[in-house]
Structure 1
Amino acid sequence: MRILQARTALRLRARLQPRRVVLTDAKGELTARDLDGITALMHRGRTATSARSVPRCPPQVAELPPDAPLRQVLATALTAGDELEMRSSGSTGPPHLQRRGPLSAAQLRTLRDLARRIGLRGGASIASAAPGVHGHGLLVGLGALVLGSPLVDLSHLRPAQRVQLLHRERPQLLTGVPVHLADVLAADQEHARGRPLQIPRVISGSDVLPAALRADLARHLRARVHDVYGTTETGPIAVDGRPLAGVRIREQDGLLIVRTPFTGGKELVTDRGHLDKQGRVRVTGRADGAVSSGGMLHDPRAVARLLVSHPGVAAVRLRVVEDERFGARTVAEVTPSPGEAAVPTGQELRSLVRDRLGAAAVPREVVLLSSPGD
């Protein structure tokens, strides 16, 4: 989504409908005039000069903390110009520099086809469970600004808060990575109090959507569930397995090779998978070998190095085990340091990983083993 296009849409809305709500989160409502004013202030700060007349560096999304609210992420992105540095597609790897130029006619055709298939129409409210600092959440936010669709930010909320906000705002669409959608489902099952949510459309992206989770979402939320496949480099590729307009995809040696209007005429290897007889895309795993657990990708070695840097930890072993819901999950087996009075809890170690590496890197389970002296 072009940043300048989103900024122009926001300015127009702030001028014509200044009190229109563009985003709702735990802090309350943010109007078009409010967000436009925030971005204007940030832009003036960016262009201001220091005593030495050296322009200040523009803020970047990748510099924000992993738990930054979507309102902060959008204001930062709208101030960054057409070069947007961001974390990509739920990954906790190094940020990729995204250069956003004008959308071509072919790119617009692909995006229109995507919107049509998932029922995304201008003005329809969208609840996003994906963190704004990652590609999924940020592109949803920018796209909603262009379409004039009110946003509901569900990221970084406690389960009961998510359910309360969803019941109050009653969005037409809910989107997120499969693990985020599973969390929303579990929260509503626990806190609905006999009044389950009803959301017409649920859009899953950034990872394989397990069939069991898809059925649970459709049944509990009474929703039509869509599985959107795409990557940061290629843009959207397919909806419910069917390639979008302008997308060309083929299989070679178990790898999916894709050319889209966003790849500049090049073919790119995306993931492991195949095409069935009906031409539907079936993704079976990542081509780069990264661990995927419900759509949250991370480098196990980076997680282990961080955990073992804690003074209360002597050793760490990370294992990937099968999981019925997510296909795979990571288990961190932690050996406490001998003689340490305060042994860190599993929750403390998970919080450490979340703060330093982001939510995508957090092991789904932390097991504390006996220290060598015990």
Structure 2
Amino acid sequence: MAASPLIRSLTGTARTAYELGSGTARAGVALTRSGVVRPVGPGRLFGMGRALVRYGHSITAAFAVGAARHPYRLAVVDEDGVTTYAELEERTDRLALALLDSGAGPGAPVGVLCRNARAPIETMIAAGKTGADIVLINTGLSAEQLRGVQEEQGLHTVVVDQDFLEIVPAGPRVVLTSVPDGPRPAGDRALDDLGSMVARGGPGELPFRPEPSKQIVLTSGTTGTPKGAKRPHPSTLAPAASILSAIPLRAAEPVHIAAPLFHTWGNAGLLLAALHGATVVLRRRFTPEGFLGAVAERRCTTVFAVPVMLQRVLESQAQGWGSEHAPRIVAVSGSALPGGQAGAFMDRFGDCLYNLYGSTEVSWVSIAGPEDLRDAPGTAGRAPAGTTLVILDENDEPAGPDVEGRVFVGNDLPFDGYTGGEADLEERNGLLGTGDVGHLDAQGRLFLTGRADDMIVSGGENVHPGPVEELVSGMPGVREACVLGVADDEYGQRLAAWVVRDAGDSTVTADTIRTKVRSDLAKFAVPRDVHFLDELPRNQTGKVLRAELPGRE
């Protein structure tokens, strides 16, 4: 039987770029340069090809390919120990059989409500072997929000850390990630645990080609029930190649994923790590000391994080990893990266920082590398290979350099809509709108002003809080800030600022903030309300919880 184009690409032939279907030689070169595409012996090639035929370009396939290609390499290191690729493959085969026996599978989704550890990885892999859709649940949801998720997604099973058991609604089958201390909680729910399921799951036959499952990522809305964004598995390696064209990962190098695995960015890091045959290093909870220590101890060359984690590291007195154990890549996404924070981090830890701008719906839009972050602080970067980035003006025409408009993007990872049937994103000529406003400079670098729906009209003037927030955040003595519009009886709307000062700083006052904004921007951009807080309320990915800001009413 002739080898498929995808299998032939794994042998490192010169046809890589064509067979990946990315339409760009640059993307093919990225895969070869990173070591994803390289010569493989015929014995292992057969196992790799079999995994791809069975599971497509999914997280399940990535780890199955790893088990065939490098079975004895460490796949996951967490606080419970280490697991090789071969061990992970065997455990997830048994877990998949147990899931099927319990009724999970096509049409019976599996939810994952876990902190970063091997359990959510095993669940994602095993669910893919059954054909069940996976719903990645934010660990910061309330019980009410989770009930809304259950009603919309119709979860058959929820795999959950015991810490979150009390918020899981009645209905789905509950599987704990570990054996609980003491007796299992009583009630009408069928409690199980992953270890018991693995022990009893097998021997048996799994479907050779299960129904293609979808990964459903919940949008990071800060109020109400989060929407479920359906993400089909890609049909080629082009999406990975696009990211690799701007972020130079290398095969077999350990990767620390600090970003939550339930978030698009943490999940993307997991897929890229598996694709590269990396050892994935995880910690359940983020602390600056643990973050730095994990990188140094396991000699991680790549880190996936969210910007607020970098801020916490900068603020801490924790010792750095030192030049001997410094990673080549610290890649962040999930919330805004202030220009000043990027420079301060690289001043301390070296020019290793990469910032990806995107969203749950559109995936990636642009990537800023260290050079861009140095030369143009505050930039969101450039469109990577295979990505179209356009700024449209109010007439839906492409805007010129430095002209502000709405951000639209097209890439190789399609959005399959929301599970609840909500209205799709704004679309123009096959490109999806991000909902953000920004401009491109003459070098093609993107600069974001902020969300289009954050624009307010105050006394007849259009005002966007983004530039005000950036200005206030960069003031000496200010640790972080948030600026938003609030209702105003006289002017319709006005800006308000919530500010966290550096510890012990008393020089920053409401008047100094207003004076700075009036001097650098405009009178109508001055925030009339200034609230000083000990910290901004944030979710797990660093986004500010606006509903929890005092005085927002």
TM over 0.5: yes
Measure the CA separation in 1 of the matches of 2:339 and 2:532.
Answer: 27
Tell me the SS of whatever aligns to 1:141.
Answer: helix
Tell me the SS of whatever aligns to 2:318.
Answer: helix
* 1:60 and 2:191 are equivalent in the alignment: no
* 1:38 and 2:88 are equivalent in the alignment: no
After TM superposition, list the pairs within 5 Å mapping 1:1-374 onto structure 2. 4-49=57-102, 57-61=108-112, 64-65=113-114, 68-81=115-128, 82-88=213-219, 94-104=226-236, 108-154=237-283, 156-187=285-316, 189-192=317-320, 198-240=326-368, 241-251=381-391, 252-253=393-394, 254-263=405-414, 266-270=430-434, 271-289=436-454, 321-322=498-499, 360=542
- Cα–Cα, structure 1 residues 238 and 272, in superposed 2: closer, same or farther, change >3 Å? same
Measure the CA separation in 2 of the matches of 1:29 and 1:255.
Answer: 46
How far 1:196 moved relative to its partner?
8.9
Compare CA radii of gyration and give the structure with the larger one: 2
Correspondence for 1:341: none
How far 1:367 moved relative to its partner?
10
Runs of 4 or more consecutive aligned structure 1 residues displaced over 4 Å after TM superposition: 53-56, 89-93, 192-197, 288-294, 322-325, 330-333, 357-364
Tell me the SS of whatever aligns to 1:190.
Answer: coil
Q: Does 1 or 2 have the higher relative contact order (CA < 8 Å, sep 6+)?
A: 1
Measure the CA separation in 1 of the matches of 2:304 and 2:312.
Answer: 12
Tell me the SS of whatever aligns to 1:118.
Answer: coil
Letter in 2 for 1:198: A
- Cα–Cα, structure 1 residues 288 and 151, in superposed 2: closer, same or farther, change >3 Å? farther
How far 1:136 moved relative to its partner?
0.9
Q: Is the 8 A contact 1:88 1:96 kept in 2?
A: yes
Measure the CA separation in 2 of the matches of 1:111 and 1:180.
Answer: 24
Letter in 1 for 2:108: C
Letter in 1 for 2:126: T
Letter in 2 for 1:86: V
Tell me the SS of whatever aligns to 2:77.
Answer: strand
Letter in 2 for 1:261: D
Tell me the SS of whatever aligns to 1:86.
Answer: strand
Q: Deviations over 1:290-330 (max 9, x none)?
A: 99999xxxxx9xxxxxxxxxxxxxxxxxx8614689xxxx9
| Runs of at least 5 residues in structure 1 that lack an aligned partner in the other structure | 295-299, 301-318, 334-345, 369-374
**Worse overlay, 158-167 or 90-99:** 90-99
- Cα–Cα, structure 1 residues 60 and 97, in superposed 2: closer, same or farther, change >3 Å? farther
How far 1:11 moved relative to its partner?
2.2
Tell me the SS of whatever aligns to 2:246.
Answer: helix
Measure the CA separation in 2 of the matches of 1:258 and 1:195.
Answer: 38
Tell me the SS of whatever aligns to 2:76.
Answer: strand
How many residue pairs get aligned? The number is 313
Tell me the SS of whatever aligns to 2:364.
Answer: strand
Measure the CA separation in 1 of the matches of 2:325 and 2:383.
Answer: 31
Q: Percent identity?
A: 25
- Aligned-pair Cα RMSD in Å: 4.1
- Cα–Cα, structure 1 residues 56 and 279, in superposed 2: closer, same or farther, change >3 Å? closer
- Cα–Cα, structure 1 residues 151 and 322, in superposed 2: closer, same or farther, change >3 Å? same
Letter in 1 for 2:413: F
Measure the CA separation in 2 of the matches of 1:268 and 1:367.
Answer: 31
Tell me the SS of whatever aligns to 2:245.
Answer: helix
Measure the CA separation in 2 of the matches of 1:48 and 1:4.
Answer: 25
Tell me the SS of whatever aligns to 2:108.
Answer: coil
Measure the CA separation in 2 of the matches of 1:193 and 1:231.
Answer: 30
How far 1:10 moved relative to its partner?
1.8
Measure the CA separation in 1 of the matches of 2:71 and 2:126.
Answer: 19
How far 1:190 moved relative to its partner?
2.3
Letter in 1 for 2:125: L
Higher strand share: 1
Q: Is the 8 A contact 1:202 1:225 kept in 2?
A: yes
Q: Is the 8 A contact 2:220 2:226 kept in 1?
A: no
TM-score (norm 1): 0.69
Letter in 2 for 1:98: K
How far 1:144 moved relative to its partner?
0.9
Measure the CA separation in 2 of the matches of 1:229 and 1:70.
Answer: 25
How far 1:231 moved relative to its partner?
2.0
- Cα–Cα, structure 1 residues 275 and 32, in superposed 2: closer, same or farther, change >3 Å? same
- Cα–Cα, structure 1 residues 210 and 78, in superposed 2: closer, same or farther, change >3 Å? same
